[in-house]
Amino acid sequence: MTRTIPSSRPRTVLGALAAAGCLLALPLTSLGEAPATEQGFELVVPADHAAMGTVFHALKGRDAQVTFTSDAPLEYIKGTSNQVIGYAVAGEGGHLLAGEFHLPVASLDTGIPMRNEHVQSNRWLNAESHPDVIFQIAETTDIKLAKTSDTFTTYDVTLVGDMTINGVTREMSIPATVTRMPESDATKVRFPGDLLAIRCSYPILLSDFEVGVGDAGIAAGKVSNELMLETRLFCSSASPESVMSQRRR
């Protein structure tokens, strides 16, 4: 598997305060981050991005979208979230031309409430100052047709963009698969609209994002500096509000 390639120069990004009653931050648009809608189901798509191609919105709240694992000598930790919001703009084939996804740190669940608090603390992901993990897609490279059928087409790709964790931003290249599924009777059973699935599995180093540096848990072998991240995002060309409405029926 191709390893993610972080830039050698981290860029510190100022976090914004979370809106009252919401898990998601309302980032400063002057920093180039898209704000969430008032309902919190999606990000506002900039007009220049929407004009590039077909916009697909991430669908939260059903399956685990992000899973992280820390496999240290003394402890194995697994955490998940199904609260990712964001969008990807798709061109022809497997090209993702732009996009942005926000993972609320407060939504990560390790199965132990006290450990969840530790993850959110300023010793680790610092949810108070930097409430979201953010990935912004800049381009898609190495696109290869992997599989096709009457109902879907899958491409192997590399997603190139900026990952922001703990207020530190690094450029990364992430191996992924992108699957396009036109709306059909089969897909409408689950979600309305044309569908886009983004799947990837890759490592990150906490130290690259100034997380846990010097912490006794890493030194003692309870937490691994290298985390494995698995992302499984289902996105729809329909608005998340319409998808939520269908689920409530």
pLDDT digits (tens, 9 = 90+) for 5-49: 554 444 443 333 233 233 333 333 334 678 876 557 789 999 999
C-alpha–C-alpha distance, residues 131 and 108, integer Å? 11
In this prediction, residue 19 carries a pLDDT of 32
Tell which phi-psi region holds residue 115, choosing left (phi > 0), alpha (psi between -120 and 50) or beta: alpha
pTM of the model: 0.85
Residue indicated by tokens 């899973």: 67
Rounded to 10 degrees, the C-alpha dihedral 143/133/51/32 comes to: -120
Instruction: Give the least confident one: 83-92, 101-110, 236-245.
Output: 236-245
> Per residue in 46-85, pLDDT tens?
999 999 999 999 999 878 999 999 999 999 999 999 999 9
Q: How far apart are CA 235 and CA 58, in angstroms?
A: 4
- Give the pLDDT mean for 214-235: 93
Q: What is the pLDDT of residue 27?
A: 35
Average pLDDT, whole number, for the chain?
86
Alpha-carbon gap, residue 143 to 35, rounded angstroms = 30
By the 8 A CB rule, do 131 and 24 touch? yes
Cβ(58)–Cβ(101) below 8 Å: yes
Q: How confident is the model at residue 216 (pLDDT cuts 50, 70, 90)?
A: confident
Domains in the chain, please, with CATH?
Answer: 40-248 (2.40.128.110)
Mean pLDDT lowest among 52-56, 93-97, 217-221? 217-221
68-to-105, 122, 155, 161, 230 alpha-carbon distances in Å: 12, 19, 24, 19, 6
Tell me the average pLDDT across 114-119: 96
| Confidence at residue 245, expressed as pLDDT on a 0 to 100 scale | 64
DSSP 8-state assignment for residue 16: -
Average pLDDT over residues 177-189: 94
Using CA atoms, how far apart are residues 26 and 43, in angstroms rounded to an integer?
Answer: 9
